Structure 1
């Protein structure tokens, strides 16, 4: 159904131990970062990948790579460098 993608985000959040963010309604300018992150995730998780086939260590490794990757939108800092 139309809500299955939204429901799956809770499992992904738990599996990656990362929050999942959605664009605020009527804020389409937020979509660029969302789509960029989705593209980065596709380097590791193919479309419709079954997350049950990945170990927690695999998912932790993917999360660490993304969090340590410099981002142009952050003036080439990594997300981890911008943590409080």
Structure 2
């Protein structure tokens, strides 16, 4: 059964959201400030990392690491020089 899970974090004045659609094939879509900037796929419970760029000056390289399972998916936001941060589940 496929389900959608939403996650969110604010970083350096930018909104980063991730949608994880679970099932046998897991699809991940990442938006920065409401615009799709990255996507990834994996299978079953294998983690996937989506690399993206924040529109800062100069642009910042960051990543969203998704662990689809077992159980409820988890998203972690990773930025250079900072501890990884767990992204908050966001129902909508």
TM-score of the aligned structures, taking structure 1 as reference length:
0.25
The structure having more radius of gyration, on CA atoms, is 1
Higher strand share: 2
Q: Give the TM-score, by structure 2 length.
A: 0.24
More helix by share: 1
